[in-house]
């Protein structure tokens, strides 16, 4: 397994390739998104423990979508078991994937704890003005702004070591520490492509938000709920395209895997 460096423009192509993969099997990707969202809601019925379980499962979720895109490119049949497929192979890799999940959940506990310390217990979310009101939008409490900034920065930093780690364990047989380190090196070596990739995804979100605002303005206040309801499937599609594109970031940085998982 050799680390490759790709040009910055490749970041935009990752998004387009994800869109193309999604367009070839839209119902498969949307079914997986819906399944993951449903499981996330169900497990969070259990206070605290459910949230930790959801965090621990995220590395498996990203790996599952990478496997899905690999299968789509190979012309394989739809597989809704990709989230558990990596746990049925080599026991050593399975243990390492569980270790990655535990590390991710532990770090997220620290991140949420930091947010709670910054914000405190007496900060309330601002109430938006009623529809049609000319009142100015409410301002966020400075502590809440700092807390949200902390969450955004911590989430971005956490994504770097975990971006490739599950795939490196599954396809490369790396240990937990080695996979996290290799992921950081790969993202840093290809930071130009990842910056363009992030900006392309952000631009797509902004364009959709602007289109939604324009639609709401054209339809009027009475139809705002209908317009906002249209955003739900659009958000699912954008999420599916993003997850479909993850495989291409791995294939370009480490080479496309030739098998689902080595047995050694």
d(CA 126, CA 140): 7
Q: Could you tell me if 61 and 43 are in contact, meaning their C-beta atoms sit under 8 angstroms apart? A: no
d(CA 254, CA 185): 12
Question: Which residues, 6+ apart, have CB-to-CB distance to 58 below 8 Å?
Answer: 101, 104, 162
Examine the pLDDT at 250 and tell me if it is beyond 90: yes
Encode pLDDT of 108-160 as tens digits. Answer: 999 999 988 888 776 666 666 565 556 566 666 678 888 889 999 999 999 99
Q: What per-residue confidence (pLDDT) applies to 213? A: 74
**Over residues 70-78, mean pLDDT:** 88
**Over residues 87-94, mean pLDDT:** 88
d(CA 194, CA 188): 9
Examine the pLDDT at 230 and tell me if it is beyond 80: no
d(CA 98, CA 92): 10
Examine the pLDDT at 82 and tell me if it is beyond 80: yes
Domain boundaries, the chain: 10-254
User: Which one-letter DSSP state was computed for residue 121?
Assistant: S
Tell me the pLDDT of the chain averaged across its residues.
86
Q: What per-residue confidence (pLDDT) applies to 195? A: 96
Q: Which residue has the tokens 């899905």?
A: 68
Q: What per-residue confidence (pLDDT) applies to 263? A: 43
Q: Following CA atoms 180, 186, 191, 194 in sequence, which dihedral angle do they give, to the nearest 10 degrees?
A: -80
Q: Could you tell me if 180 and 165 are in contact, meaning their C-beta atoms sit under 8 angstroms apart? A: yes
Q: What per-residue confidence (pLDDT) applies to 108? A: 94
DSSP secondary structure of 32-54: HHHHHHHHHHHHTTSTTHHHHHH
Q: What per-residue confidence (pLDDT) applies to 166? A: 96
**Over residues 231-248, mean pLDDT:** 91
Q: Could you tell me if 66 and 172 are in contact, meaning their C-beta atoms sit under 8 angstroms apart? A: no
Q: Could you tell me if 123 and 143 are in contact, meaning their C-beta atoms sit under 8 angstroms apart? A: yes
Q: What per-residue confidence (pLDDT) applies to 264? A: 42
Examine the pLDDT at 18 and tell me if it is beyond 70: yes
- Other CB atoms within a 10 A radius of the CB of residue 135 amount to 8
Examine the pLDDT at 164 and tell me if it is beyond 60: yes
**Over residues 169-186, mean pLDDT:** 95
How confident is residue 233, by pLDDT bands cut at 50, 70 and 90? Answer: confident
Integer-rounded Cα radius of gyration of the chain: 20
Which range scores top for mean pLDDT: 78-92, 160-174, 220-234?
Answer: 160-174
d(CA 38, CA 27): 16
- Other CB atoms within a 10 A radius of the CB of residue 256 amount to 13
Worst-scoring range by mean pLDDT, 42-56, 133-147, 201-215?
133-147
Q: What percent of the chain has a predicted confidence (pLDDT) above 90?
A: 57
Examine the pLDDT at 168 and tell me if it is beyond 80: yes
């Amino acid at each position: 397994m050799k680390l490759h460096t790709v040009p910055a423009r490749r970041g935009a192509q990752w998004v387009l390739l994800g869109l193309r993969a999604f367009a070839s099997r839209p119902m498969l990707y949307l079914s997986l998104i819906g399944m993951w969202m449903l499981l996330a809601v169900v497990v969070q019925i259990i206070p605290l423990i459910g949230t930790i379980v959801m965090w621990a499962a995220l590395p498996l979720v990203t790996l599952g979508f990478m496997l899905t895109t690999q299968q789509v490119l190979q012309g394989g049949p739809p597989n809704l078991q990709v989230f558990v497929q990596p746990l049925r192979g080599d026991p050593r890799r399975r243990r390492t994937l569980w270790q990655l999940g535990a590390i991710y959940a532990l770090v997220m506990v620290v991140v949420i704890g930091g947010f709670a310390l910054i914000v405190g217990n007496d900060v309330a979310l601002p109430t938006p003005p009623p529809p049609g009101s000319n009142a100015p939008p409410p301002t966020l409490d400075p502590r809440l702004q700092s807390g949200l900034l902390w969450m955004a920065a911590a989430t971005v930093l956490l994504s770097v070591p975990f971006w490739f780690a599950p795939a490196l364990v599954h396809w490369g047989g790396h240990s937990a520490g080695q996979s996290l380190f290799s992921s950081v090196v790969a993202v840093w070596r290809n930071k130009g492509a990842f910056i363009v990739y992030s900006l392309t995804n952000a631009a797509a979100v902004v364009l959709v938000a602007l289109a939604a605002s324009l639609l709401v303005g054209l339809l009027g206040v009475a139809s705002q709920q209908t317009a906002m309801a249209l955003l739900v499937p659009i958000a699912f599609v954008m999420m599916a395209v993003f997850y479909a594109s993850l495989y291409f970031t791995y294939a370009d940085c480490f080479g496309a895997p030739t098998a689902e998982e080595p047995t050694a």
